[in-house]
Amino acid sequence: MKEGANHTGRLVRPNEKQSSRGHASLTTQTLAARLQTFRRLRWDPVSQTMLKREELMAMFESAGAIRHGHFELSSGRHSGMYVQCALVLQYPRFAEELGKGLAALFGDLELDAVVSPAMGGLIIGQEVARALPEGRSQGDGPVGAGVPAIFVERDASGSMTMRRGFSLRAGQAVLVVEDVWTTGGSTREAIRVVEEAGGRVAAAGALIDRSGGAVKLGVTAKALLDLAIPSYQPKECPLCADGSVAVKPGSRFVRGDANACGSANARTTVGR
């Protein structure tokens, strides 16, 4: 077939599709398919650049995220070390690299959404979702927008719930992402919310597992960094026995119950 001019005078090449306006065009479906293919082909499996343990530790330490003192964790247990992931995640480049590293642990799964418990899981959940290739279907989401990052939060009664218009389709494959596991309580609550919303929890991930592998979630669970940091029930806490007072990280609240935690007048020094 030879080249020729159409009625507008524009040169038309062989096999070129014309729209009703006389211009060569691609359908919306074709554009979407090409974009999807492009994203999949260009997605660099981050497992090829997996962060080493010493690199992870250096990242957390440089941000002052590893703290020493006497802490009351969100689980209620006490510890002499606390990892404040918010301090390392405040730096976008660190957050991006940590998200890629955690996403790489689940490279063999096809995932449709990431769900994180607020507040600790918000930033890392977003970064993990950004690093993942798009799922098998995006549902009602915009084409090419990526894997959605959803968060669950506590309501006035203290129960974890899904709000703000977030929703999951029936059977949607979900990765639940948290910053730190000590007992895994928040992650288990997030798993419950996902299942109640109709989603299917394919796996769970965390930046740090400080339980020494003791956390059992009922699904495939992987952490980017394993730190076996001792923690204690308040009545068994050696730091309390020494008379120091537990501090709740992230706030200035000091537990003043002398029966549970030594002298309320004791001072606690928090360092990096």
| Residue among 254, 247, 250 nearest 84 (CA) | 250
| Residue among 84, 68, 79, 80 nearest 233 (CA) | 79
pLDDT at 165: 82
Counting every residue, how long is the chain?
A: 272
Backbone angles phi, psi at 203, to 5 degrees: -170, 170
Which amino acid makes up residue 208? Answer: I
CA distance 11 to 144: 32
pLDDT at 75: 81
Q: What is the mean pLDDT of residues 230-257?
A: 78
> Mean pLDDT score of the chain, rounded to an integer?
77
pLDDT at 21: 38
Full-model pTM: 0.68
Q: Would you say residue 252 has pLDDT above 50?
A: no
Distances from the Cα of 40 to the Cα of 45, 67, 82, 225, 235, angstroms: 10, 40, 38, 27, 53
CA distance 12 to 123: 50
Backbone angles phi, psi at 150, to 5 degrees: -110, 150
Residue pLDDT, tens place only, 14-47: 444 443 333 333 444 443 444 344 344 334 444 4
Q: Which CATH number fits domain 56-261: 3.40.50.970, 1.10.10.60, 3.40.50.2020, 3.30.565.10?
A: 3.40.50.2020
Q: Are strands 149-154 and 160-161 parallel, antiparallel or unpaired?
A: antiparallel
Q: Are 258 and 251 in contact (CB under 8 A)?
A: no
Q: Are 209 and 227 in contact (CB under 8 A)?
A: yes
Q: Would you say residue 194 has pLDDT above 70?
A: yes
| Residue among 67, 68, 73, 120 nearest 95 (CA) | 120
Q: Would you say residue 1 has pLDDT above 80?
A: no
Which of 100-104, 155-159, 170-174, 189-193 has the weakest average pLDDT?
155-159
Q: What is the mean pLDDT of residues 234-246?
A: 94
Q: What is the mean pLDDT of residues 137-163?
A: 81
DSSP string over 141-163: SPTT--S-EEEEEE-TTS-EE--
Could you tell me where the DSSP H helices lie in the chain? Answer: 28-42, 53-62, 85-89, 92-104, 122-131, 185-196, 238-241, 258-261
